[in-house]
Amino acid sequence: MSEQLLEKIKRLKDERRAVILAHNYQPGEIQDLADFTGDSLGLSIKAAETDAEVIVFCGVQFMAETAAILSPEKTVLLPDKFAGCPLADMITAEQLDKLKREHPDALVVCYVNSSAEVKAESDYCCTSANAVEVVNSLPKDKRIIFVPDQHLGRFVVEKTGRNLVLWPGYCVTHVVITEEDTKNTKARYPDAIVMAHAECTEPVKELSDEILSTSQMLHYAKKSTAKQFIIATETGIIHTLKKQNPDAEFIAASDRAICPNMKRISLEKVVWSLEDMQYKVTVPDKVRTKAKKALDRMVEILPAE
Ligand code: SF4
């Protein structure tokens, strides 16, 4: 059955001149069929560099929006229209606007996990991999508003010593990884290196050896001589970690760390997406131009990972 679906996807992909992107948290079979796997910004940058006419983004809404911001001439499809991101939805452009009025002199740094409208209201965008560098590059006398993830924000505060205005957003998938989960997993695998995402809560990060973005985790595991890793992030990444490092063992800090939105994408939905050219994700020009400025300013500070 899945062989037939894969054949169909391949045929449709050629017909549509499409490129398929899969985020590191996607189901394994989706990561396996994709042209590129990676994090949301890296994928959007790669897709923009191709001459494909269509981008099928196997991920969530804000990721497809980011691809649309960087590739306005391409058609961007999200195979499931309800694949959203609760973290990105935790702040609206109106709420950010209100916060900006409370801190009129502040610069706004928004995590890439945010809507196009929120990006458009921000001065700089950042990823979890470069948030510290982006904030460090800003004038020391400037107040900085950081949205929407409070846990990534606290990590940046700790690393930069800057006093950021944080928004109380959080990733529902990362906060389910508890301190107890991490302690218990460490007790079972005392020699394992613990890699945690910055979206995890502070006690989990304190128990970790490395705080890394998903791309950095993949990179770290490839270079490391260690043979056991505890992974404190969405469990989908373990599929690629295992594939790339067949001799190493990867253990989820918590089996509950599964993002239901990421798992909405299936082989069937990718077929339907290409067949019916659905669901198109567009960003109005006015919003797109402003949001792109925030992304460009980040890239000017440092190249994307
Ligand atoms: S893992 Fe968290 S941040 Fe990523 S899409 Fe799911 S809810 Fe959003």
Q: What is the pLDDT of residues 148-178, one digit of tens each?
A: 999 999 999 999 999 999 999 999 999 999 9
Rounded CA gap, 89 and 118, in Å? 10
Instruction: Report which ligand 1 atom has the smallest distance to the Cα of 85.
Output: 8
Q: Identify which has the larger pLDDT, 213 or 302.
A: 213
∠21-263-32 over CA atoms, to 5°? 40
Residue nearest to atom 8 of ligand 1 (CA): 85
pLDDT of 305 above 70: no
CA 165 to ligand 1 center in whole angstroms: 22
Residue of 23, 26, 171 to mutate, ligand 1, most atoms within 8 A of C-beta: 171
**Ligand 1 neighbours (beta carbon < 6 A):** 25, 60, 85-87, 113, 171-173, 234, 259, 261-262
CA 167 to ligand 1 center in whole angstroms: 16
Q: Which residues contact 143 (CB under 8 A, 6 or more apart)?
A: 103, 105, 106, 107, 163, 165
> How large is the average pLDDT for residues 251-270?
98
Instruction: Report which ligand 1 atom has the smallest distance to the Cα of 171.
Output: 2
pLDDT band at 303 (very low <50, low <70, confident <90, very high): low
pLDDT of 304 above 70: no
Rounded CA gap, 130 and 41, in Å? 11
Residue nearest to atom 3 of ligand 1 (CA): 171
* Whether the Cβ atoms of residue 40 and residue 119 lie closer than 8 Å to each other: no
CA 299 to ligand 1 center in whole angstroms: 23
> In whole angstroms, how far apart are CA 269 and each of 1, 31, 143, 160, 262?
14, 14, 44, 43, 13
Strand ranges, E, within the chain: 18-23, 36-38, 54-58, 75-77, 107-111, 124-126, 144-147, 165-166, 193-196, 210-211, 228-232, 249-252
Residue nearest to atom 6 of ligand 1 (CA): 259
pLDDT at 301: 84
Q: Which residues contact 157 (CB under 8 A, 6 or more apart)?
A: 163, 164, 166
CA 85 to ligand 1 center in whole angstroms: 5
Kindly state the percentage of the chain with pLDDT values over 90: 97
pLDDT band at 1 (very low <50, low <70, confident <90, very high): low
Closest CA to 99 of 180, 168, 51, 46: 168
- Provide the residue type at 90 as one letter: M
pLDDT at 140: 94
Kindly state the percentage of the chain with pLDDT values over 70: 99
Residue pLDDT, tens place only, 76-113: 999 999 999 999 999 999 999 999 999 999 999 999 99
Q: What is the mean pLDDT of the chain?
A: 97
Residue nearest to atom 5 of ligand 1 (CA): 85
Instruction: Report which ligand 1 atom has the smallest distance to the Cα of 59.
Output: 5
- Provide the residue type at 154 as one letter: R
Rg (CA), the chain: 19
pLDDT at 92: 98
Residue pLDDT, tens place only, 219-240: 999 999 999 999 999 999 999 9
pLDDT of 267 above 90: yes
pLDDT at 302: 72
CA 84 to ligand 1 center in whole angstroms: 8
Rounded CA gap, 291 and 120, in Å? 4
pLDDT band at 43 (very low <50, low <70, confident <90, very high): very high
pLDDT of 122 above 70: yes
CA 15 to ligand 1 center in whole angstroms: 32
